[in-house]
Amino acid sequence: MMPNLRMQSLKAKRIGFHMTVGCVWMLLGMTGWNAPAARAQDAASESEIFSTRTDIVRSIEFQGNTQYKDKILGQRIGIKLGDQIDPFMVEESRRTIVDLYKKKGYVFVQVAVDRDMAEKGQLFFTITEGARVRVKAVQILGAQAFSSGDLKKIIKTKTRRMFALAAFYSEQAVEEDTEKLREFYYDRGYLGYSVETAVDFVDDNSAAVVTFTIDEGQPYRITEVEFLGQSFFDRATLEKELTLLKGDVYKKSRAIVDKRALTQKYLEKGFVDIQIYQEPKFAEDLDDHTVVLSYEIHEGRQFRIGRIDITGNQGVQDKVARNVLNEYDVTPGRLYNAKIAPDEGQKSLMEKYIQRSTLAEEVIIQPVNSDSGDPDVKDMRVDIKEGMTGMIMPGVGISSDSGVMGQLIYQQQNFDITDWPESWKEFFTMKAFRGGGQNMRIALEPGTIVSRYTLTFSNPYWHDKPIGYDLSLMSYSRWLESYDERRMNATVGWEHRKWGKWRKSIALRTEQVSVEDLDYDAPQEIRDVTGDTMLYGVRLGTGQTKVDDIYLPTEGHVFRVGYEQVTGDYTFGILSSSYVHYFNLYEDILERRTVLATKVQGGTILGNAPPFEKFYAGGQGTYAIRGFDYRGVSTRGLQVFNPGITGTPTYKDPIGSDWIFTANGEVTIPLIGENFSALTFLDSALIDTGGLRSSTGAGIQILIPQWFGPVPMRFEYGIPLQSDEKDDIRHFNFSMGRLF
């Protein structure tokens, strides 16, 4: 049936084309095909008109254009030498040139085509540009609930551009601004609004006054929220998911968010086919300015998970994806949680988590009908499009805390220690040691301030259970304020985790710390630890992660607490903890969230620890307080001069603090997608000397997962509000890196 309908449609289009082409030629004569010979051709037969289509384009010329070069216009019109002459295409090209000029403010531009020459295959466009119309004034009239200044912020039409340059009139921009104003009022409950636009051209048509006239009406309030068709959840349960309730002003964007929340509530409980329709129902008397907010719910059937099939993977073993599913209780027999494994639409959390674990280009999870015949069961199919999981690449990184670091990295994030290469070629092409979901990283990172050489092996699922372990060998050196520090470190750690439940961890470390190349005025606390120090530590920890997304959390909390007992040349303990809470402040219609993250953390030394094991605040490190230098907030040591050097000693270089407490608040506002955001922050810190330190500032965050994983690039500017005279200040903080 469908092919026949399509053939009928095609025939109708062809008939319509033959019937209208003569009219089009006449239209072209009225819209610019105005050569004298054109009028003599108006009575030409259809066959004569169509005979011109056998000619080809032999030349394309432009006359009168100063704003755009011939090359640019030729690229924009889309006609090339050798193409067949098509009157529709020629007219479309003429209109393209007109639109191009109008977008630049040439409101009265005229473009004509010589028809006689066109029929001979010579396209000749005559352009009369006219004056470029600047925007002299933008007026917003009739606004009562919102100031005209606030409304002008949401429109593009301005009198001035960046750097005080003149702005030019664009009909398209004005139309878009009119729609923006309409959406603005509708979204805020002014359902009876009207927005009209008028443009007056003044100063001999060289300037435009744009006026938006607004009739706001009154905001519509919700008199009732009704649910139709639901049976699984009662009304009270559903109302808990809503932000718009009885008595509130109806706002479209919030209604969309509420509908999404209700949908996810059902998806979590196995209602794969849930459909919810939401609409405001107006009162019979429109002057009443009220609506009934109605949710029509089609629940469908509740499903459980049947078989889980992993497809598309060749270099990644099935167990890598199954381990992730098992950790989050996505297993046969469970309710089909379609919130994290949806039928269609936006990428789900499970798809994102499996993609990160397998480093796939794409992961698609979808329910399929079960072969079991059980109508209440849906099988799950996990389609993996594999990506590059390994690399041997040079690169460079830079940050305000660590300076510039060169990089030569071997990394296989889908490592399998049992898959030995059969040749060197397999090793260098990353076809060996892969498939098991483990991670092997060898990094050589010499730098101007910090140099680091590491070998790390980790397995997130030991014996296919959510028990991760890490093995690490590291050589590290750093130039510090009054000495050079070198570390040789070996660590091994285990962590048992369960989604939403308490985690338990244990870690062992063996470390040799060398303090050398002291400055002539190094404090006594540093002189006392000169040379090599051996340390052996055992750390026990616990914590809980309950967030909506482990990579980009917007709601929930993360809590960690741990104690490390250290022995060797020194005996002491380190008790530390941190708590981070995420709040979703606002979600726009594109599901981008403005997030508030609050963080408190602290630590204390139990016993006598050397300076290199104590606490330092400042910069972007663990105990960050932006607006201060790296290690810029610390207890200071008194200068001790070498023999023969005189001077008045001062408390200059940091020697670490025995305890520390920091509190941070940060708001992240998405600007472009999820990868480019603005942020503002307030940081504070207390240590065992001096008073409260605090700072505020702003910055930008750029997230490029394919380059840096879940760690973003950040550029931040901080202003200290409270500081100690001995603190080191640094306003600008940044961190970035990339592979060549």
**Computed over its alpha carbons, how large is the radius of gyration of the chain?**
34
**Continuous segment of H or E residues that includes residue 457:** strand 450-459
Q: What sign for the dihedral angle of Cα 283, 288, 291, 292?
A: negative
Do residues 439 and 457 touch, judged by C-beta distance below 8 A? yes
* Cα 232 from Cα 269, distance rounded (Å): 10
Q: What integer pLDDT is reported at residue 344 of this predicted model? A: 55
Task: Write the DSSP symbol of residue 153.
Answer: T
Bridge partners for 125 per DSSP: 62, 113
pLDDT digits (tens, 9 = 90+) for 413-430: 788 888 888 888 777 777
- Beta-carbon contacts of 21 under 8 Å, excluding residues fewer than 6 positions away, are 46, 49, 50, 87, 88
**Which region, left, alpha or beta, applies to residue 607 given φ > 0 means left and ψ of -120 to 50 means alpha?**
left
* Cα 440 from Cα 434, distance rounded (Å): 10
Q: What integer pLDDT is reported at residue 47 of this predicted model? A: 34
Residue of 84 and 62 predicted with greater confidence: 62
Of the listed ranges 455-464, 535-544, 665-674, the least confidently predicted one is 665-674
Do strands 484-496 and 467-479 pair parallel, antiparallel, or not at all (unpaired)? antiparallel
Nearest to 551 by CA among 318, 289, 347: 347
Percentage, residues of the chain above pLDDT 70 = 89
Of the listed ranges 15-24, 314-323, 602-611, 705-714, the least confidently predicted one is 15-24
Q: What integer pLDDT is reported at residue 346 of this predicted model? A: 57
Task: Write the DSSP symbol of residue 163.
Answer: G
Task: Write the DSSP symbol of residue 647.
Answer: -
Judged against a pLDDT cut of 80, whether residue 35 lies above it is answered with no
Q: What sign for the dihedral angle of Cα 721, 724, 725, 731?
A: negative
Do strands 403-415 and 390-399 pair parallel, antiparallel, or not at all (unpaired)? antiparallel
Nearest to 90 by CA among 175, 31, 164: 31
Taking residue 100's Cβ as centre, other Cβ atoms within 10 Å add up to: 18
Nearest to 614 by CA among 660, 554, 682: 660
Q: What integer pLDDT is reported at residue 740 of this predicted model? A: 38
Domain 221-298 grouped into CATH 3.40.190.10: no
Judged against a pLDDT cut of 50, whether residue 13 lies above it is answered with no
Bridge partners for 8 per DSSP: none
Beta strands (DSSP E) in 480-607 are: 484-496, 502-516, 531-547, 556-568, 572-587, 593-607
* Cα 537 from Cα 567, distance rounded (Å): 6
Mean pLDDT value across the chain: 85
Do strands 59-63 and 122-128 pair parallel, antiparallel, or not at all (unpaired)? parallel
Task: Write the DSSP symbol of residue 288.
Answer: G
Q: Of how many residues is the chain composed? A: 740
Judged against a pLDDT cut of 90, whether residue 51 lies above it is answered with no
Q: What residue ranges do the domains of the chain occupy?
A: 2-128, 134-215, 221-298, 304-385, 391-459, 460-739
* Cα 314 from Cα 304, distance rounded (Å): 28
Percentage, residues of the chain above pLDDT 90 = 56
CATH of 2-128, one of 3.40.50.720, 3.10.20.310, 3.90.190.10, 3.90.226.10: 3.10.20.310
Do residues 573 and 564 touch, judged by C-beta distance below 8 A? yes
* Cα 122 from Cα 500, distance rounded (Å): 72
Encoding tokens for residue 534? Answer: 């051996």
Q: What integer pLDDT is reported at residue 509 of this predicted model? A: 97
pLDDT digits (tens, 9 = 90+) for 461-509: 988 888 999 999 999 999 999 999 999 999 999 999 877 778 999 999 9
Encoding tokens for residue 637? Answer: 């040591």
Name the CATH superfamily housing domain 134-215: membrane protein fhac (3.10.20.310)
At 735, is the pLDDT very low, low, confident or very high (cuts 50, 70, 90)?
confident
Average pLDDT over residues 648-672: 94
Secondary structure, 3-state, 361-415: CEEEEEEEECCCCCCCEEEEEEEEECCCCEEEEEEEEEECCCEEEEEEEEEEEEE
* Cα 496 from Cα 185, distance rounded (Å): 52
Do residues 132 and 156 touch, judged by C-beta distance below 8 A? no
Nearest to 187 by CA among 278, 252, 250, 281: 252
Average pLDDT over residues 29-34: 42
Domain 460-739 grouped into CATH 3.50.50.60: no
* Cα 657 from Cα 648, distance rounded (Å): 24
Judged against a pLDDT cut of 60, whether residue 30 lies above it is answered with no
Nearest to 43 by CA among 29, 55, 32: 29
- Please provide the DSSP assignment of 612-642 as one string: GGSB-B-BTSTT-BTEE-TT-BS-EEEP-PP
Unique residue bearing structure tokens 């220690």 = 417
Encoding tokens for residue 97? Answer: 């040139």
Average pLDDT over residues 306-323: 88
Of the listed ranges 30-34, 64-68, 86-90, the least confidently predicted one is 30-34
* Cα 599 from Cα 579, distance rounded (Å): 6
* Cα 498 from Cα 28, distance rounded (Å): 71
* Cα 738 from Cα 673, distance rounded (Å): 21
CA triple 405-411-417, angle to 5 deg? 145
Unique residue bearing structure tokens 């330190």 = 693
Q: What integer pLDDT is reported at residue 107 of this predicted model? A: 93
* Cα 215 from Cα 192, distance rounded (Å): 8
Nearest to 25 by CA among 121, 164, 118, 126: 118
**Does 304-385 match 2-128 at the fold level?**
yes
Encoding tokens for residue 171? Answer: 């009909």
Q: What integer pLDDT is reported at residue 343 of this predicted model? A: 55
- Beta-carbon contacts of 19 under 8 Å, excluding residues fewer than 6 positions away, are none
Q: What integer pLDDT is reported at residue 18 of this predicted model? A: 38
Q: Hey, what amino acid is at 404?
A: V
Q: Distances from the Cα of 461 to the Cαs of 314, 437, 465, 644, in angstroms?
A: 20, 8, 5, 61
Q: Distances from the Cα of 595 to the Cαs of 500, 527, 545, 582, 680, in angstroms?
A: 20, 46, 17, 7, 11
pLDDT digits (tens, 9 = 90+) for 286-313: 678 899 999 999 999 999 999 999 998 8
* Cα within 13 Å of Cα(198), Cβ side: 8
Beta strands (DSSP E) in 81-152 are: 110-113, 122-128, 134-141
Do residues 202 and 219 touch, judged by C-beta distance below 8 A? no
Task: Write the DSSP symbol of residue 294.
Answer: E
Do residues 657 and 685 touch, judged by C-beta distance below 8 A? no
Q: Is 157 helix (H, G, I), strand (E, B) or coil?
A: coil
Nearest to 262 by CA among 215, 294, 220: 294
Residue of 571 and 713 predicted with greater confidence: 571
**Continuous segment of H or E residues that includes residue 60:** strand 59-63
Beta strands (DSSP E) in 154-261 are: 194-202, 207-215, 221-228
Nearest to 720 by CA among 619, 602, 597, 599: 619
**Which region, left, alpha or beta, applies to residue 690 given φ > 0 means left and ψ of -120 to 50 means alpha?**
left
Q: What integer pLDDT is reported at residue 510 of this predicted model? A: 98
CATH of 304-385, one of 3.20.20.140, 3.10.20.310, 3.30.70.260, 3.10.129.10: 3.10.20.310
- Please provide the DSSP assignment of 314-333 as one string: SSS-HHHHHHHHHHTT--TT
Bridge partners for 594 per DSSP: 586
The helix-helix angle for 318-327 and 349-358 (nearest 10°) equals 140
